[in-house]
């Protein structure tokens, strides 16, 4: 016979699944391949299919960091119980669904963070000012940095005195070096390719990690260079699609925590492994990407900027870097915010912003701010006013 606690947890899990679907249909499903779709490198439906696969992989292999931060680091002194978790996830998911319906990408991290903090404070918790500082820094500085880097790359890649056959492989080599140091889930704890090599090498770990990073950089750069020597345009598009896959992976890693993080405080009572919850969230992202992402892919790809392959690459590389920084430090961050900022930076390199939809961007920024305020207010109000919560 089911207990009240079990039924309540089941409802919370269903709302979490809805949230995972909303995120998959929105930020993780739409943004990673939007520049590639805008550059006509891939169709919308194929992009939605591929991003779902890589988003699931990222959730399973890198999702624990942000999930644990959302579940326990945003508020001090209290632990969210099942009823407030239902409120948090429902509010955040409803705002995400509204964004999908209207075509305006809602910043997922804003809605979840606002709702969790609001509910936690209503329960008598204390603000986690240190974590809020990290979040604010990444939310404010991160988009500015990605826009600036995207602008710089988009200004260099099209130059006649910097041939594509050399400039793009250099960018690819840098991405390869970063990937060699990205941490993945492992039986003994998170580790990277370079760290695993250092652990089994007789050479000093820093030297081994440097060698592995350089080797990965050379291999990736050489592969892209060879592809572009055969056909510059085809090689460029292959690298653009590879970057879309890498960004989709990073999106899944950073966004799954927003869907399942609030659920983690409840899992100990039922002895449910954290990995099982995260993988379940990854499945939700996958389904959301396949069923709901095409509409948002079109919105981000066509409404925000019309970028060619070079500037699309310029937009995706900074997005990948910032996402991995967020995952490493366990900071919830919106992928819509990251990629749209990158698209904006690359778009301004087209000629002062002629390729950027200014009105659309302004409305999106307003939607982000409103969603944070609304999520906090409803999260706090519902838990403070309704006694059974």
Rounded (10°) angle between helices 64-72 and 274-298 = 100
Q: Is the pLDDT of residue 308 over 70?
A: yes
> Higher model confidence: residue 46 or residue 339?
46
Q: What is the mean pLDDT of residues 180-191?
A: 84
> Higher model confidence: residue 338 or residue 124?
124
Q: What is the mean pLDDT of residues 256-284?
A: 88
Banded model confidence at residue 304, pLDDT cuts 50, 70, 90: very low
Banded model confidence at residue 388, pLDDT cuts 50, 70, 90: low
- Of 83, 76, 121, 154, the closest CA to residue 345 belongs to 154
Banded model confidence at residue 305, pLDDT cuts 50, 70, 90: very low
Question: CB neighbours (10 Å) of residue 388?
Answer: 4
Mean pLDDT for the chain overall: 85
> Higher model confidence: residue 188 or residue 180?
180
- pLDDT, tens digit, for every residue of 93-108? 787 777 767 766 677 8
103 burial via Cβ count (<10 Å: 0-12, 13-18, 19+): middle
Q: Is 352 left (phi over 0), alpha (psi -120 to 50) or beta?
A: left
Banded model confidence at residue 27, pLDDT cuts 50, 70, 90: low
- Of 220, 140, 77, the closest CA to residue 212 belongs to 220
Q: What is the mean pLDDT of residues 72-89?
A: 85
The percent of residues above 90 in pLDDT, for the chain, comes to 38
Cα separation of 146 and 168, whole Å? Answer: 18
- Is residue 111 a contact partner of residue 336, using CB atoms and an 8 Å limit? no
Q: Is the pLDDT of residue 46 over 60?
A: yes
Cα separation of 355 and 358, whole Å? Answer: 9
SS3 305: strand
- Is residue 63 a contact partner of residue 252, using CB atoms and an 8 Å limit? yes
> Higher model confidence: residue 343 or residue 172?
172
Question: CB neighbours (10 Å) of residue 19?
Answer: 31
Structure tokens at 143: 């988009």
The percent of residues above 70 in pLDDT, for the chain, comes to 91
Structure tokens at 277: 């919850």
Q: Is the pLDDT of residue 389 over 60?
A: no
Question: CB neighbours (10 Å) of residue 329?
Answer: 16
Q: What is the mean pLDDT of residues 372-376?
A: 88
- pLDDT, tens digit, for every residue of 121-157? 998 999 999 999 999 899 889 888 999 999 999 888 8
The C-alpha R_g of the chain, in whole angstroms, comes to 21
Cα separation of 255 and 273, whole Å? Answer: 19
């Amino acid at each position: 016979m089911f207990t009240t606690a079990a039924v309540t947890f089941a409802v919370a899990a269903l709302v979490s699944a809805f949230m995972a679907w909303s995120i998959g249909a929105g930020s993780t499903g739409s943004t990673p391949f939007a520049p590639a779709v805008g550059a006509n490198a891939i169709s919308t439906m194929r992009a939605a299919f591929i991003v779902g696969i890589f988003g699931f992989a990222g959730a399973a292999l890198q999702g624990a960091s942000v999930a644990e931060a959302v579940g326990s680091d945003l508020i001090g002194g209290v632990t969210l119980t099942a009823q407030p978790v239902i409120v948090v996830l429902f509010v955040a998911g409803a705002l995400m669904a509204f964004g999908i319906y209207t075509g305006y990408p809602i910043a997922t991290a804003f809605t979840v963070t606002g709702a969790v903090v609001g509910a936690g404070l209503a329960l008598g918790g204390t603000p986690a000012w240190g974590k809020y500082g990290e979040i604010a820094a990444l939310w404010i500085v991160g988009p500015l940095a990605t826009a600036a880097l995207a602008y710089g790359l988009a200004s260099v890649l099209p130059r006649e005195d910097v041939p594509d056959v050399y400039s793009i492989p250099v960018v690819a080599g840098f991405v390869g070096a970063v990937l060699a140091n990205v941490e993945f889930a492992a039986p003994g704890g998170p580790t990277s390719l370079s760290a695993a090599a250092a652990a089994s090498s007789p050479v000093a770990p820093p030297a081994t990690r440097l060698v592995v990073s350089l080797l990965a950089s050379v291999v990736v750069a050489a592969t892209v260079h060879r592809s572009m020597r055969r056909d510059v345009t085809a090689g460029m598009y292959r690298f653009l699609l590879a970057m879309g896959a890498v960004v989709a992976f990073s999106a899944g890693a950073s966004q799954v925590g927003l869907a399942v993080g609030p659920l983690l405080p409840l899992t100990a009572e039922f002895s449910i492994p954290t990995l099982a919850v995260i993988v379940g969230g990854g499945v939700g992202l996958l389904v959301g990407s396949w069923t709901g992402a095409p509409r948002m892919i079109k919105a981000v790809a066509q409404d925000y900027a019309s970028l060619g392959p070079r500037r699309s690459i310029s937009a995706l590389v900074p997005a990948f870097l910032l996402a991995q920084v967020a995952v490493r430090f366990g900071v919830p961050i919106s992928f819509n915010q990251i990629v749209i900022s990158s698209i904006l930076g690359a778009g301004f390199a087209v000629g002062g912003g002629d390729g950027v939809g200014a009105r659309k961007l302004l409305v999106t920024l307003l939607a982000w701010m409103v969603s944070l305020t609304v999520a906090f207010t409803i999260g706090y109000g519902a838990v403070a006013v309704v006694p059974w919560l």
